[in-house]
Amino acid sequence: MKSLEELQAIRDRKKAEINNRTTGENNIRIIVGMATCGIAAGARPVLQAFGEEIESRKLENVTLGQTGCIGLCKYEPIVEVFVPGQDKVTYVHMDAKKAREVITSHILNGKPIAEYTYKE
């Protein structure tokens, strides 16, 4: 079973790591809607998947955030991606698998996945 001793080992490793994470206006922002509508539709594992991908791929220029209800409850889980200098991309009906695809296609290769975006 995981214990605080193990956490200490992770802490010591983290302290030794050089933190290259950048903060500022040039960061890509990924925002997940976490209101009642989003949570009920499955936003919690979506947020988790983005967090895991950003951590494991060491994406130091990407920040992950949470927000409330965006007003399109029937399209939840909704994820907004802000790439500096580009139009905002709104992904709808997201799940953990789609989140990982957005990381590889949109964030890493600069190709938004049109199929998953919001269409009026």
Partner 1 sequence: MIELSLNILDITYNSIRAGAKNIDITVRADFCTDEMEISISDDGCGMSEEMVKTVSDPFTTTRTTRKVGMGIPLFKMYAEMCGGALRINSEPGVGTTIAATMKISHIDRPPMGDLGQTMTTLIGASPATEFKLNFVSDGKEYIFDTKEIKETLDGVEIENVEILSFLREMINENIENLIGGKIL
Q: Which is nearer to partner 1, 12 or 120 (CB)?
A: 12
SS3 readout for 12-34: HHHHHCCCCCCCCCCCEEEEEEC
CA 92/CA 116 separation, integer angstroms: 6
Q: How many beta carbons lie within 10 A of that of residue 94, not counting itself?
A: 27
Evaluated on CA atoms 55, 29, 65, 33, the torsion sign reads negative
Which lies closer to partner 1 via its Cβ, residue 33 or residue 112? 33
Binding to partner 1 (CB under 8 A): which residues in 20-59?
34-37, 39-40, 44-45, 47-48, 51-52, 54-55
Residues 55-94: x where in contact with partner 1 by CB under 8 A, - otherwise, as a string: x----------x-xx-------------------------
Distance in angstroms (rounded) separating the CA atoms of residues 65 and 32 = 6
Give the residues lining the site for partner 1 (CB under 8 A). Answer: 1-4, 6-8, 10-11, 14-15, 34-37, 39-40, 44-45, 47-48, 51-52, 54-55, 66, 68-69
